[in-house]
Amino acid sequence: MRCLVTGTAGFVGFHLARRLLGDGHEVMGIDGMVPYYDVNLKRNRHEILDRSGLFSKRECMLEDAPQIEAAFGQFKPEIVIHLAAQAGVRYSLENPASYIGSNLVGSFNILEQCRRWQPEHLVMASTSSVYGADADYPSVESAACNHPLTLYSSTKKAMEEMAHCYAHVWNIRTTAFRFFSAYGPWGRPDMAMFKFVESILADRPIDVYNHGNMQRDWTYIDDLVEAIVRLMTMPPELNKPVGRFDSLSPVAPYRVVNIGGGNAVQLMDFVGEIESAIGRKAIRNYLGMQLGDVERSEASPQLLEALTGFRPATPISVGVREFVKWYREYYRA
């Protein structure tokens, strides 16, 4: 199949594109190479993808409507996988305009081209952050999500709602994935996993927020990709829910699906696994809660499992070791 993937130089997009290429799909990647973090890391990811004759790419911003239009016109995708976004909860407090441009204007440009080209399935990356102050545990896709805590989560929820409108008006079969604390090799330098390993190896303190009283539903990247690959071939159909817990819209071929294993892990247990994998204790700098953060995330995997027969299950002991191994090899640490 012809799969257009936005964000192929990013963490999730790189891993997904590599899997799709390995499965024999043709992939066009779109990425703006935004210097939110080390662009060399992004270029190294693209260099690996470039080794496949099935991969092509276009470096442009999502906000650049003519470039996005040209990419769709050139490639004529059968599947559109929209992963690119301005990510990060805390950065939205520093540079809010970047979230409006990428997550709203950029996503609008993707939706407009899907309206024109009518792919078989549009899948879009959202986030567990949309649950905000409304989160019960485990979080279910039918939650109202009316009280976001950051601009990042607000823009992602708005993206979901824009996509629902397009699905209803233009009959674009659409699935929005809500990711839960993705981690693994080639991960983003702004994420906790990367920061902890980097600091421990450099004998620098790690910042432990809310004095360690945090839980996260960590999702290993291979599990995340497996879920996406299974779901991308299962476009929603109007009036065909899989059960009473399905998030399928009553008026559009549109559904939201959590991608998480439903296994919240204590932050200090996660740190302990990192210390074990590195063979060195962390110097811990205990701090209060960060603005806009939440104490806990935990996915309900019920809908994902009903649709695909799969739920993320890689133990953090395995995932952490794989990340540390990659980090040491890549940075020669």
Instruction: Judge contact between 107 and 161, C-beta under 8 A.
Output: no
Q: How many domains does the chain have?
A: 2
Same domain for 94 and 49: yes
Stated length of the chain: 333
- Residue 269: inside a domain: yes
Same domain for 144 and 277: no
- Find all residues with CB under 8 Å of 290, minimum gap 6, and list them: 90, 209, 210
Strands 206-208 and 284-286, how do they pair? parallel
Catalytic positions: 152
Q: What is the mean pLDDT of the chain?
A: 95
The confidence band for 228, taking pLDDT boundaries of 50, 70 and 90, is very high
Cα–Cα dist 128/90, whole Å: 15
- Residue 229: inside a domain: yes
Same domain for 234 and 200: no
DSSP string, 3-41: EEEE-TTSHHHHHHHHHHHHTT-EEEEEE---TTS-HHH
Residue bearing the bigger pLDDT, 333 or 193: 193
For residues 47-60, give the mean pLDDT. 98
**pLDDT tens per residue, range 10-42:** 999 999 999 999 999 999 999 999 998 999 999
Same domain for 103 and 24: yes
Same domain for 319 and 242: no
Same domain for 223 and 194: no
**pLDDT tens per residue, range 243-288:** 888 999 999 999 999 999 999 999 999 999 999 999 999 999 999 9
- Residue 302: inside a domain: no
Same domain for 287 and 142: no
Same domain for 270 and 149: no
Host domain of residue 211: 183-216+263-297+310-331
* Residue 319 clears pLDDT 80, i.e. is over it: yes
- Residue 75: inside a domain: yes
Can you give the C-alpha Rg of the chain in angstroms? 19
* Residue 53 clears pLDDT 70, i.e. is over it: yes
- Residue 166: inside a domain: yes
Same domain for 68 and 91: yes
- Weakest mean pLDDT among 96-110, 224-238, 289-303, 310-324: 289-303
For residues 130-152, give the mean pLDDT. 88
Cβ burial 198-225 (10 Å sphere, 16+ → b, else e): ebbeeeeebebbeeeebbbbbbbbbbbb
Of the candidates 78, 96, 76, the one whose C-alpha atom is nearest the C-alpha of residue 88 is: 96
Same domain for 159 and 292: no
**Three-class DSSP category at 58:** strand
Same domain for 134 and 198: no
The confidence band for 95, taking pLDDT boundaries of 50, 70 and 90, is confident
Stated pTM of the model: 0.96
pLDDT, position 135: 67
The distance from CA 216 to its chain's CA centroid, rounded to whole angstroms, is 15
CATH number at residue 200: 3.90.25.10
pLDDT, position 290: 84
Same domain for 35 and 53: yes
* Residue 301 clears pLDDT 90, i.e. is over it: yes
**pLDDT tens per residue, range 145-181:** 889 889 999 999 999 999 999 999 999 999 999 999 9
- Residue 303: inside a domain: no
- Find all residues with CB under 8 Å of 144, minimum gap 6, and list them: 134
- Residue 137: inside a domain: yes
Would you put residue 279 in left (φ > 0), alpha (ψ -120 to 50) or beta? left
CATH number at residue 98: 3.40.50.720
- Residue 304: inside a domain: no
